[in-house]
């Protein structure tokens, strides 16, 4: 199986070639989640059509308690 | 103060508007540092708040969702969420975090916070102004956490921020409103709502902020770290009402000497003159 390496929330991860952003987000997180790829927001509607490229820096964030 | 609907206004809580939202309570609450989720939710109910702050953080997607998320429980309760950029030290970090907040929460509101250093947690106003300009140009409704400097507050308003949020004292310090005169100067000249953010330690601090005329107060630690957070939330609600009502009522002028409240005419006398040494019996 061919894999690529990308940074997911700051950690290097091996991913299948063709992995999209949609594959990285648990399906039960329907709301209250945002994804950025190389410091650019990727809207939810584009997750399924955005493949992760080698070396990408992906951020997956959710709201947590804050002041 | 037990309302079936915690969001129902109490006497003295008149609807007001901020960034297109209509709120009854003038308290904005943070959601951090509570002993438990249940205490947080009970305290939010007791405070009557309609707008609460949240942070955006990396979450490990492998962990998955265990039970209801904070997002779900807050939204279920009908609360509006205000994402912050807490923990950002540069304009660049703050802008990206704001974008993530807008995407995750589907809101253009952002509490813009750009911190200068971890010890003071004071705003870095240079970075703050840069970030505010950028976010306004990207269509955000920016509520900037700023110093109590009236000049910076004015500049933030000129940039197009929908409110200004001067600090009363450093975040989490509970030192109260350290420079009431500055807060008053900011309010006097502001054309947007003024929200005191940070510094409130107890109910009298909140009441004082409202007596100065500010539109709202944002607090977190004062409630979350009280020995009884729910009771403190109730106290803060009463203080907000008391302070706001006192401000609207218009306080009496201060006098150096006393002035009798009861009439002096027709009082019983014994031939004693004011200033004389009284002998008794």
**Average pLDDT estimate for B51-72:** 79
How many degrees, rounded to 5, is the angle at CA A39 between CA B54 and CA A10?
Answer: 75
Tokens of B233: 């939330």
Distance from CA of A56 to the nearest CA of B (A): 16
Average pLDDT of every residue of chain B: 92
Q: Which domains does chain A have, with CATH numbers?
A: 3-61 (3.10.20.30)
0.95 exceeded by the pTM? no
pLDDT digits (tens, 9 = 90+) for B148-170: 999 999 999 999 999 999 999 99
pLDDT digits (tens, 9 = 90+) for A4-51: 999 999 999 999 999 999 999 988 887 899 999 999 999 999 999 999
Residue pair B54/B109 in contact (Cβ under 8 Å)? The answer is no
Query: Which residues in B have their CB inside 8 Å of a CB on A?
Result: 30-34, 40, 53-61, 64-65, 69-72, 75, 81, 83-84, 86, 96, 99-106, 171-172, 220-221
This model of the complex carries an ipTM of 0.90
Across the interface, whether the CB atoms of B31 and A59 are under 8 A apart is answered no
**pLDDT at residue B75 greater than cutoff 70:** yes
**pLDDT at residue B2 greater than cutoff 70:** no
**pLDDT at residue B66 greater than cutoff 60:** no
**Average pLDDT estimate for B78-101:** 96
Distance from CA of A11 to the nearest CA of B (A): 10
**pLDDT at residue B99 greater than cutoff 80:** yes
């Amino acid at each position: 199986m061919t894999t690529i390496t990308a940074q997911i929330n700051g950690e290097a991860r091996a991913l299948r070639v063709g992995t999209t952003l949609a594959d990285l987000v648990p399906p039960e997180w329907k709301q209250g989640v945002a994804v950025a790829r190389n410091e650019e927001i990727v809207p939810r509607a584009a997750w399924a059509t955005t493949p992760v490229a080698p070396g990408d820096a992906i951020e997956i964030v959710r709201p947590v308690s804050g002041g | 103060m037990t309302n079936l609907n915690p969001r129902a206004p109490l006497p003295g809580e008149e609807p007001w508007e901020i960034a297109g939202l209509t709120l009854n309570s003038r308290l904005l609450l943070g959601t951090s540092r509570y002993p438990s989720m249940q205490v947080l939710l009970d305290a939010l109910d007791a405070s009557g708040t309609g707008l609460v702050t949240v942070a955006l953080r990396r979450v490990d997607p492998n962990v998955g969702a265990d039970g209801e998320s904070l997002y779900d429980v807050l939204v279920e309760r009908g609360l509006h969420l205000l994402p912050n950029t807490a923990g950002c030290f540069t304009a660049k970090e703050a802008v990206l975090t704001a974008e993530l907040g807008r995407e995750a929460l589907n809101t253009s509101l952002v509490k813009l916070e750009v911190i200068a250093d971890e010890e003071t947690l004071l705003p870095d106003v240079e970075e703050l102004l840069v970030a505010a300009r950028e976010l306004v140009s990207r269509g955000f409704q920016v509520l900037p956490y700023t110093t109590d400097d009236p000049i910076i507050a004015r500049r933030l308003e000129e940039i197009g921020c929908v409110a200004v949020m001067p600090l009363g004292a450093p975040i989490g310090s509970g030192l109260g409103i350290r420079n009431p005169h500055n807060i008053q100067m900011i309010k006097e000249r502001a054309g947007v709502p003024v929200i005191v953010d940070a510094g409130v330690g107890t109910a009298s601090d909140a009441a004082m902020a409202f007596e100065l005329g500010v539109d709202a107060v944002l607090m977190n630690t004062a409630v979350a770290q009280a020995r009884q957070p729910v009771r403190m939330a109730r106290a803060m609600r009463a203080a907000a009402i008391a302070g706001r009502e006192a401000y609207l009522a218009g306080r009496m002028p201060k006098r150096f000497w006393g002035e009798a409240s009861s009439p002096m005419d027709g009082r019983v006398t014994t031939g004693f003159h004011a200033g004389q040494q009284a002998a008794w019996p």
